[in-house]
Amino acid sequence: MTAFIEGRSVDAQQKNELINRAVTVRQFAHAPYSKYQVGAALLTKSGKIYSGCNVENASYGLAICAERTAIVKAVSEGERVVEAIAVATADGGTPCGACRQFLAEFCGSDATVIVYDTQANSEVEFTLGQLLPNAFDLP
């Protein structure tokens, strides 16, 4: 089942590509502590797709989420505007608060956030503004 929520949307081909890449990169997650593997793939304004997985560390504060990994990869390649992101987990978990705020730095509140549940083979689509209605913003 797919739920569509108003906001900027990606076309079906882009959405499928983002989900497929998020699912694929999820297998590379380094999650020996939480056992919670996450994959993310984002689409930039230029049309390029960047992916990332979560990487945990014994010093848990040093861990990095899949969403932030993908954003850091995009930024390191000169990208600054994220149009959409897909996040894949075993249970349809949404991005954490830190990732939501991190996304807000590089995309508008109308950016598409696709959450894919690998067990149920289903997705739900949000806008970033729905997930983070009062994002911290600098003037």
- Catalytic site residues? 67
Closest by CA position to 3, among listed 138, 135, 116: 116
What is the token pair recorded at 74? 């995009």
Q: How far apart are CA 59 and CA 50, in angstroms?
A: 26
- For 87, residues 6+ apart whose C-beta sits below 8 A from its C-beta are 22, 38, 39, 40, 66, 67, 93, 94, 95, 113, 114, 115, 116
Query: Is the separation of the CB atoms in 52 and 68 below 8 Å?
Result: yes
